[in-house]
Each structure stands twice: as C-alpha cells, then as structure tokens.
C-alpha cells in the first residue's frame, strides 16, 4: 500500500473515536429509545469528553443520521453481495430479510433513525443508496432479468416504501413473518412478470 494511502495514527485514532461514539449511541438508542438519547449520555457511555464528541458530530441529530447512514450502507452492500452471488429468485427472501433487519427495533427508534437519514441526505438519501447499489452490481451480477432504470427503481423502492409505512404505523400490529412472506410474494411476482415479458421480447 502506498504511503499516501495508509491511515496515519491520528486518522486511526479519529476513526476509532468515531466508531466508539457511534457504537455507544447505538447501544443507548436500542436500550432506552430516542427519549433519553442525548450527547452527554452518549459521550459518557463512549468514554469520551463532550468536547471530543462535538469535534466529530454537530449534535444528537447528526449522530442519529450517521447511525442511520451506516446501517443503510451496510444493508445495501449486503444486498448487492447477495444479488451478485445468487442472481435468481432464490435470493429474494434473503434480500427481504436484510431490508427488514434494517427496520428492526422499537417503532420510535426506527422512526427516529429514518427521519434522521432523510434529514441528513434530504429526499435524495434513498436515491443515493439506489445509485450506489446499481453501481456495485454493474458488470458483476448475472441477473435472471434485465433491469432498466425503471424496473430497478420499482424493485429497490417497493419493499423499502412498504417497510417505511409499516414502521410508521405500528398500531397495525403486522406480523413480521407474514409481512416477510407477502413482500417476497410481491417481489417474486414482479420479477417473474419481467422475465415473462422479456422472454416475449416485450
């Protein structure tokens, strides 16, 4: 690795500090929810001073946004790897489960993280992940159907849109396994319809 590509000790320490803050924030958020989520308690749990925390983050919402961004990126990369490894209908359930895992947690926590993600990246936040996903699989995935920008948009946004709605409406009492089954049915049906249409040359 070239010298300029190596991370300096200072950069390494900074990266470790950011990781510690985000890990502490996630633990606090999952344990106690958004109500008690504040920078003082995050700094205390991370073992850093409040001044150090503010060197890297602008405040509570900034930390929430960074957490949401990391989770979204991890899920996106996992799905891209799945599509590359299993470019058939068999990968659909794996993809749906990965998406559902990104929406796990208490309703208040899920809403807080989603709101922070949108606040951080605007309405283009999902578009950025959509484009990054397509770039990750381009030339590497041998898909059973040909994806146009329109069909890729439908596939990547349909399940996400429904899961966002489910997170926003916890009073519906949706059963996670039944919801997973229905989302798999939806995506498989759409992919099958695409394959049939493309097989006819339509």
What is the DSSP-derived secondary structure letter of residue 170?
G
Please give the model's pTM, rounded to 2 decimal places: 0.66
Give how far Cα 192 sits from Cα of 38, 55, 90, 147, 187, Å. 47, 51, 12, 13, 9
C-beta of residue 84 within 8 angstroms of C-beta of residue 76: no
Report d(CA 185, CA 84) in Å as an integer: 21
Q: Is 81 exposed, middle or buried (0-12, 13-18, 19+ CB in 10 A)?
A: middle
Lowest mean pLDDT among 129-133, 141-145, 148-152: 141-145
Query: For residue 33, what are the contacts with CB-CB under 8 A and spacing of at least 6?
Result: 106, 108, 109
59-103 pLDDT, tens digit each = 998 998 898 888 888 888 888 887 777 766 557 888 888 888 776
Q: Is 177 exposed, middle or buried (0-12, 13-18, 19+ CB in 10 A)?
A: exposed
- Tell me what the mean pLDDT of segment 13-29 comes to: 90
C-beta of residue 110 within 8 angstroms of C-beta of residue 116: no
pLDDT at 4 over 60: no
C-beta of residue 160 within 8 angstroms of C-beta of residue 79: no
C-beta of residue 17 within 8 angstroms of C-beta of residue 7: no
Place of tokens 């994806």: 147
C-beta of residue 93 within 8 angstroms of C-beta of residue 184: yes
Lowest mean pLDDT among 132-141, 160-169, 170-179: 132-141
CATH number corresponding to 1-58: 1.10.10.60
């Amino acid at each position: 690795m070239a010298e300029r590509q190596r991370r300096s000790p200072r950069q390494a320490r900074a990266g470790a500090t950011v990781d510690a803050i985000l890990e502490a924030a996630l633990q606090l958020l999952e344990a106690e929810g958004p109500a008690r989520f504040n920078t003082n308690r995050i700094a205390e749990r991370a073992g850093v001073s409040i001044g150090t925390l503010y060197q890297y983050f602008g405040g509570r919402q900034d930390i929430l946004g960074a957490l949401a961004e990391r989770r979204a990126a991890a899920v996106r990369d996992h799905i891209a790897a799945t599509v590359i490894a299993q470019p058939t209908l068999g990968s659909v359930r794996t993809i749906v489960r990965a998406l559902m895992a990104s929406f796990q947690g208490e309703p208040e926590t899920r809403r807080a993280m989603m709101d922070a993600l949108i606040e951080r990246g605007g309405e283009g936040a999902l578009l950025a992940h959509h484009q990054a996903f397509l770039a990750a699989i381009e030339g590497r995935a041998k898909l059973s159907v040909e994806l146009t920008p329109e069909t890729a948009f439908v596939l990547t946004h349909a399940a996400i849109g429904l899961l966002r709605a489910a997170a926003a409406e916890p009073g519906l009492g949706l059963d996670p396994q039944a919801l997973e089954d229905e989302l798999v049915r939806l995506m498989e049906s759409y992919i099958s319809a695409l394959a049939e249409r493309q097989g006819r040359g339509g």
